[in-house]
A and B are shown apart, each in its own frame.
Chain A
Amino acid sequence: MRFALGDEHRQLARTLHDLLSSADVPSVARAWAGGEPEPGLTLYARLAEVGVAGLAVPERFGGLGAGPVELVVAFDELGHHPVPGPLVESVAVVPALLAGLPAGERWLPGLAGGEPATVALPPHTPFALDADVATVFAVVDGGVHLATAGRRHDSVDPARRLFEAEPGERLGDADAAFDLGVLCAAAQLLGLGRGLLDLACVHATARRQFGRPVGAFQAVKHELADVLVALELARPLVHGAAVTGTPADVSAARVAAAEAADRAARVALQVHGAVGYTREHDLGLWLTKVRALRSAWGTQSWHRARVLEEITAPASQITAPASR
């Protein structure tokens, strides 16, 4: 047993972190929210160049054929910098849906090359994210269908443009891609939480009141410490779910990651005070995405119910320790 990221995983995270740190992601996200997708599409093309877009695409279609562990490492970093766009959809869910279908041949090489895709999976993911920029738009409704965009809805996250999906041509049966979306969204939440904690610590060190940095006060320190504890203990659940793929582990990871990210968002806002509550400040880019991802890909309540169902099943082995 070796339950730790390998050098190749750390290298992937570092590559993404370096790329995104120099990409002014907050400005990209603001442009995306304002209806200017070009900087975001350019950024996605750069991510495709380093292999992100093709992570889950089989090698015969030009992708890397990587597994869930690589995906969660990447999504952690895509959340850390609040990259806009249909990432879970383009990088994980649509490739997983198409990989087993004849239509895969038609679309997957393009996806690996950086064409954005989106998908709606009612009932838990009823809206398709950013369908107006996606090359491939699918809906899973008793099978995988191509879709066209219906009515647009506003999200709490201005950088999430939500569309109703009208089903069209049927492509085939749907494989279980939903859990992969849940898992990647959980990893993205972890990264968002980490980004919020970073922002809060920087602010708490720089901002002075009563003649000292506000981060020197225990009331502030302890809130931030609790955020770190929550994130540190949610991460192994996300990694564990990437390894086992069981419904209980996937839902547990999502519940814990969303709670940790939510706590990070609340504490980061409180530490910033009024300035964090403004649109002008970048904090909201992370905070609103956390709120949105808490309801996308299943509610917390639904995921808790699924965990409970698994662990109370009469023949449940789920409470057994790690084993073959």
Chain B
Amino acid sequence: MDLDLDEDALAFRDEVRSWLAERVPAEPLPPMDTPEGAEQHRAWERVLAGARLSAVTWPREYGGREASLLEWVVFEEEYHAAGAPARVSANGIALLGSTLLAHGTAEQKERVLPRMARADDIWAQAWSEPEAGSDLAAVRSRASRVDGGWVLNGQKTWSSRAAVADRAFGLFRNDPEARRHRGLTYLMVDLRAEGVTVRPIPQLDGVPGFAEIFLDDVFVPDEDVIGEPGDGWRVAMSTASNERGLTLRSPGRFLAAARRLVGLWRERPDPALRDRVVDAWIGARAYHLYTLGTVSRLAEGGSLGVESSVNKVFWSELDIAVHETAIELLGTEGELAGDWLGGYLFSLAGPIYAGTNEIQRDVIAERLLGLPRGDR
């Protein structure tokens, strides 16, 4: 049992560190969910992809460098420590990318992944619907069989990145007669296709981080079905574990934030906030070590299952705690727009997206603690 990086990981860390030091933009980019910001973030993704750093764990043929999960953790630490831009491709890479690597055909992987790695396509997620939030299996948007593919009708909402994305992925009901979790199909949709209307929704911070997607007889070819028709729930849940459990929110993000918080404390040491600063640092350290434990387990052939819900509850609350503490330290300047406030507003969404924390706690209680199922 140890925490030592081997020679390869150390070399990788040094490479990433010096690469980032030379290339991270000096000025922050505009928000990635605005048209101008999206293009600048797309350009940054291409710079990353040029060094095979946009999706480090992917196979080389798709633009990655076959890095281990430990190296991914190292990359993320360096990335966040360097203050590099937010990842406009994060949802695509963490969710759809992982799903395609697990369930996609060779043709799909070749067609979709390299373009995703270069941000030729920016991907939005299309899970939630007006009547299907926490209860995701209640999705009603229809996929009807036609010659050579499917025709989609319905409405998706709270679709992250959809305001600027080129394509989207999500679940659609192909068989309204089948029971809830059956009869769902995982599809990729071209957001520029005929019949698609995207209506951006400004979030609390004023930026349209998500959008509604209206689908009116939108054709999707068979080649854009992932897995078997009707098997979408199972396929999507493999993505969900990744999202909650590991790849969406790396420890590097929280280590960097906790480090900045400690820096802020040095400037403004309010004794009343001491415990919260310390606890935020401890939380980031805990999440880091927890993740190193997870990647060690996965490296030995373990799998990421229900315990991803433990992760999700923890990091989402940690994110709020770190940013809230920083804002309290800022005192009367706490209400002024700035990085900490932006991070704070973003953190407030954490307990809601990727499966609400209430759903995660139900999963933990029933599937890890063995408590009886009850009413939701």
Contacts and interface: CB of A to CB of B under 8 A. Distances in A.
Given A218-B362, A225-B369, A1 B289 contact: no
Contacts of B3: 1, 3, 240, 243-244, 322
Contacts of B5: 1, 322-324
A222 B358 contact: yes
A3 B370 contact: no
Contacts of A240: 3, 285, 289
A222 B375 CA distance: 13
Contacts of A196: none
A221 B70 CA distance: 33
B106 interface: no
Task: Give the interface SS of chain A, mostly helix, strand, loop or mixed.
Answer: helix
A205 B371 contact: yes
Contact of A221 (B255, B274, B374): B374
Interface string A1-30: 111111001000000000000000000000
A2 B307 CA distance: 19
A307 B310 CA distance: 25
Question: Which of A4, A215, A234 is the most central at the interface, judged by chain B CB atoms within 10 Å of its CB?
Answer: A4
Interface string A214-237: 011110111011101100111011
A321 B255 contact: yes
A150 interface: no
Nearest to A68: B1
Contacts of B266: 312
Contacts of A226: 313, 361
A9 B2 CA distance: 13
A138 interface: no
Interface residues of A, number: 52
Contact of B369 (A213, A216, A228): A228
B177 interface: no
Interface in B189-220: none
A311 interface: yes
Q: Could you say which of A204, A224, A319 has the most chain B C-beta atoms within 10 Å of its C-beta?
A: A319
B286 A256 contact: yes
Given A212-B372, A243-B2, 5 more contacts: A3-B292, A3-B296, A213-B371, A324-B5, A324-B10
19 contacts: A1-B3, A2-B296, A216-B375, A217-B374, A218-B361, A225-B360, A225-B361, A225-B362, A233-B310, A244-B3, A252-B282, A255-B279, A308-B277, A311-B278, A312-B265, A319-B258, A321-B74, A323-B10, A324-B10
